[in-house]
Amino acid sequence: MVGDRKDSALYVRNKNSACRRSGIRSENFLFDEGVSQVRWGCWEVEWHGCGGSRGGGPSWLCLLLQDAIVQKVEQLNEDPDIDGILVQLPLPGTQLNAQQIIDRIRHDKDVDGLHPFNAGELAMRGRYPYLIPCTAKGILALLDEQHTPLRGKTAVIIGRSNLVGNPVSMLLQKRDATTILCHSKTVDLPRYVRQADVVVAACGQPYLVRGEWLKPGATVIDVGINFVRDVNDEFHGDANADGFKLVGDVNFLEAREVAGAVTPVPGGVGPMTIAMLLHNVVEAFKRRMDNRKKGVL
């Protein structure tokens, strides 16, 4: 993990707790995105985050941080006792290249399912990677548990990230749903949402989806994790000690009056994401054991 984003710190705490309960050993490597000192040759340089140094310093300082992360990834790639590696996203700043870092993770240890090899397998018709992005995998597991019909149904996904939107869209297509992938440039978003039998909101905008947008009886999956300052908010969620509350991308109180089913935030998709992460770690471990029996490194 890089930096101290509230949502990222929450995810990491929850993942660590789940690993402990499941008997999986987890290790954390925290890289400070704030004020840091780096020694390079005979020079010692101070910089303030990856937006640059004090006085508009050079971006190569941020590249040093990226290189340190890549070195740690490559070290873990070669560690035979490590079955899964993930980089907590999003990365802070504007100059860290998350995809370049993810590309360096061995695809068989990529328990987030974001390596181009795994993403390509997912995109191909008739193919499945054995490591699928955790949130997308969790959403499908949740829909299956509730016996939600997908074949021939219309699914609207709001958000096209590699972490959620794109993989959810591809998984739903593999179930013969008709998918509509919306994003920040979509014109008249409510018009598309009203068509949907299944709505997946994963755009990072608090309370974006209103109850009046929804088709009666629709299934609504709220992936949003947003920390908002509590100002006598009547919608949903309790404020923490810092005066912030955790809310989703859907107006929960409005949606539950219209939808057939809607996931809450917190307590909906988040636990499923963590469960699928643990499942991916176990799958990676089993693959390693199978390869060891076959004499494959």
State the CATH number of the domain containing residue 234: 3.40.50.720
- The secondary structure of 170-239 as a DSSP string is HHHHHTT-EEEEE-TT-SSHHHHHTT-SEEEE-S--TT-B-GGGSPTT-EEEE---EEEE-SS--SS--B
Answer yes or no: is 129 within a domain: no
Q: Name the residue range of residue 252's domain.
A: 134-269
Amino acid present at 280 = N
Task: Tell whether 188 and 108 lie within a shared domain.
Answer: no
166 and 233 in a single domain? The answer is: yes
pLDDT of 58 higher than 70: no
pTM: 0.84
Tell me if 105 sits within 8 A of 111, measured CB to CB: no
Shared domain check, 284 and 253? no
Position 6 scores a pLDDT of 79
Asked if 229 and 243 touch (Cβ cutoff 8 Å), the reply is yes
Determine whether 216 is exposed, middle or buried from the number of CB atoms within 10 Å of its CB (0-12, 13-18, 19+). Answer: exposed
15 is catalytic: yes
Over range 239-261, report the average pLDDT: 87
pLDDT band at 44 (very low <50, low <70, confident <90, very high): very low
- Is-catalytic flag, 153? no
Does 39 have pLDDT greater than 50? no
Q: Which of 177, 184, 180, 172 is nearest to 152 (CA)?
A: 177
Q: Is residue 122 part of a domain?
A: no
Same domain, yes or no, for 151 and 226?
A: yes
* 185 in Cβ contact with 193 (< 8 Å): no
- In this prediction, residue 192 carries a pLDDT of 98
Residue 39 lies in a domain: yes
Who wins on pLDDT, 69 or 227? 69
Q: Which of 15, 137, 153, 215 is catalytic?
A: 15
From 66, 83, 88, 215, active-site residue? 88
Do 147 and 246 have their domain in common? yes
Q: Is residue 1 part of a domain?
A: no
Q: What are 145-203's pLDDT values in tens digits?
A: 999 999 999 999 999 999 999 999 999 999 999 999 999 999 999 999 999 999 999 99
Tell whether the model's pLDDT for residue 253 goes beyond 90.
yes
Return phi, psi of residue 45, to 5°.
-125, 140
Q: Please identify which of the residues 83, 110, 112, 197 carries the catalytic annotation.
A: 112
